[in-house]
Structure 1
């Protein structure tokens, strides 16, 4: 994971269709741990509702974000939209097209790769984007048809269709469902969420990304999943980092210390390991 992370999580913000929303914390002391954690995060981070992004642009943005930070993928997205979006820059050597899928399907792959080079793995990502654009154009008639499919059809059917696309994994599919479709009950699992869920103890230490998603979506009220996803990412950046979580030096430095199992974190020795490699998971 890159150390070059933004200081503020922009996922679900105004550009993503987010809107301010009240957050309803549970008053049940016996609520599942993940709900109590998300409720606690509501005291620290902003609250948003989700949905509203164009589905194909959301898919493009998420592909660009794979295996890199927002600070690297955001400029790549901006450059791609300037060159291939509905209103390309004046000096772009492509024709204006109201359909981003059509524009990318027709893109010269080396030129696209150069355009998105800041995102890393740009050759592979450019090939993926052209292939996805061709499929969206062929199966849905373009970005508008794909957007309607994502927002109107059964979310399980949408997820299955997305996962059937080469280059689209569970996190990418779930981000499209959440940020474009605005679907309740969808909790994308990135590296932050995967680590925190197992470290805090609301998913098994050896759970893979899909098992973590299933555990969270089972125990967390559907309407809290969107906010929980972005807030947990921000918590991971601010406090629960992979190599040096805040509790390592000072237990009181972490706002979640009293409800965390600290699986794989050993303040006495200063050691931090992947929860799956922890030796005290039965405690």
Structure 2
């Protein structure tokens, strides 16, 4: 385990429902799996699942277009008011509480997450839909855990404000579904830069490539560890390899698509020569 592993990570970790799991390296025949195996030497290994599905959905909406550092306080403040023990908690149910929330008040509470007007509107609307269609948070949680994968993903994507990454995070961190590799901006950049996914691939195409090449039991860990790798080594503007090819632990597995150490230029892989 890396010494700088975050104590809390919105995408997983012990507090997020993950449990420590043994990590079994593969045979190295798929480069995508080789990358995830090497990430296993750098970061923690977890098996995912265990989060409440509706709270996970709310948490992931708050994290859209912002960092964990900004969205975590917003989530904590939201739960303090609308969660169990909060003054706006209703009928023992977070979805019921948020469906009845005053949108402007909610926007003020989650302001640290950014885009708070849009996110508050989305959360209130989706909470109302969860109450109307499932009866509340507990029934929605059971639906996410027990129904067929395609049915759950389709239902989530049918909710306005829920995109593929948000849906996949709920399936992974609440549903504990194997073989789900959510693609955020870090994952989208890293695997195109490495040449594992096509340079012009959209988020869905990158997801398809990774889920096809990486064993199901490694997808959850691969997602979380890739985000950490993107923050520490493979950043958008100044990847570690730009100044020193050997500074990156993935140097021998990466094609550096869009990274030009000789000129110091870094472009989106889709714009690379």
Same-fold call, TM > 0.5?
yes
Aligned residues: 268
1:84 and 1:97 in contact (8 A); partners too:
no
Q: Where does residue 57 of structure 2 map in the other structure?
A: 59
Aligned partner (choices 212, 235, 238) of residue 244 of structure 1: 238
Matches within 5 A, 1:3-18: 8=6, 10=9, 11-18=11-18
2:21 and 2:47 in contact (8 A); partners too:
yes
**Counterpart Cα distance in 1 of 2:119 and 2:228:** 25
Offset at residue 117 of structure 1 (A): 0.5
Matches within 5 A, 1:151-166: 151-166=145-160
Q: Where does residue 270 of structure 2 map in the other structure?
A: 276
Offset at residue 97 of structure 1 (A): 3.8
Counterpart secondary structure, 2:198: coil
Structure 2: gaps of 5 or more residues:
none
**Counterpart Cα distance in 2 of 1:129 and 1:101:** 9
Counterpart secondary structure, 1:263: coil
**Counterpart Cα distance in 2 of 1:72 and 1:44:** 25
Q: Where does residue 79 of structure 2 map in the other structure?
A: 81
Counterpart secondary structure, 1:213: helix
Counterpart secondary structure, 1:42: helix
Aligned partner (choices 110, 127, 130) of residue 116 of structure 1: 110
**Counterpart Cα distance in 1 of 2:253 and 2:75:** 38
**Counterpart Cα distance in 1 of 2:91 and 2:44:** 36
Q: Deviations over 1:26-74 (max 9, x none)?
A: 1x24x21100000010011110010000000000000000000001000
1:209 aligns with 2:203: yes
**Counterpart Cα distance in 1 of 2:214 and 2:21:** 18
1:86 and 1:97 in contact (8 A); partners too:
no
Q: Where does residue 223 of structure 2 map in the other structure?
A: 229
Structure 1: gaps of 5 or more residues:
1-5
1:87 and 1:97 in contact (8 A); partners too:
no
RMSD over equivalenced CA pairs, Å: 1.2
Q: Where does residue 24 of structure 1 map in the other structure?
A: 24
1:85 and 1:97 in contact (8 A); partners too:
no
Q: Deviations over 1:229-281 (max 9, x none)?
A: 000000000100000000000011000001100000000000000000000xx
Q: Where does residue 259 of structure 1 map in the other structure?
A: 253
**Counterpart Cα distance in 1 of 2:185 and 2:82:** 30
Q: Where does residue 70 of structure 2 map in the other structure?
A: 72
**Counterpart Cα distance in 2 of 1:233 and 1:78:** 22
**Counterpart Cα distance in 1 of 2:188 and 2:13:** 22
Q: Deviations over 1:165-218 (max 9, x none)?
A: 000000000000000000000000000000001000110000000000001001
Aligned partner (choices 95, 98, 104) of residue 101 of structure 1: 95
